[in-house]
Amino acid sequence: MARLSIVKVRGDREVNGYVIACRATSEAIVIDPVEPAAKLLEQLQALRLRWIVATHGHPGHLAGKDELKARTGATTAMHVADAKMFLRSADRYLLDGEELEFGQFKLRVIHTPGHTPGSLCFLVGNHLFTGDTLLAGGIGRERPGTDLRQQLISIASRLGRLPLGTAIYPGHGSATSLENELRTNPVFQPVRS
């Protein structure tokens, strides 16, 4: 059975980027290419970067994209709604349910609009990368373009139904689990029994 490696890289503005790699093949994905890109490149030594994906279009979550692409040749991807809203570009625009292969793993795209119209979460096995859609103990702060009602619907309908053992890796702060968030996060207050 293939093993997955997950390394959190803290970038500027306290944004978390992640390097996820298949240990068997050394193929990797970067989720939220933060600045300084040098921190991500350091973690990518001995790995072949296949994908650079963004959970949403806010600057801190994409700041290192161009440098990372130039240095690795990896394919960049995000949701088209955020590309339009934030005037960003990517090699590929992702749709809900798509799967991106890297090594012996697949990264599943989950569209979770609300924080931004094109907010995405990414699922690899039981590891969920949520960007600013869901944080440990809360959600990403409201900014222009945020639709809080839609964000809460996305969280309840798309993320709240995943297995309780799902590990959550947010765009800011520490990792958590779905079970812990369902029990303690105020976002889930209305759905708790």
CATH number of the domain to which 18 belongs: 3.60.15.10
Across the chain, which has 193 residues, the per-10-residue mean pLDDT values are: 93 96 97 97 97 95 96 97 92 98 98 97 98 95 87 94 97 97 85 47
Q: Tell me what pLDDT residue 93 has.
A: 97
**What's the total number of domains in the chain?**
1
pTM to 2 decimal places? 0.95
Question: Distance (Å, rounded) from C-alpha 143 to C-alpha 167?
Answer: 26
- Contacts of the segment 40-43: beta carbons below 8 A, 24+ positions apart: 40/9, 40/64, 40/68, 41/68, 41/71, 41/72, 43/7, 43/9, 43/19
Q: Which domain holds residue 120?
A: 4-191
CA atoms within 13 A on the CB side of 77: 25
Note whether 148 and 163 are within 8 A (CB).
no
Question: Distance (Å, rounded) from C-alpha 57 to C-alpha 44?
Answer: 23
β-sheet bridge partners, residue 26: none
Note whether 159 and 112 are within 8 A (CB).
yes
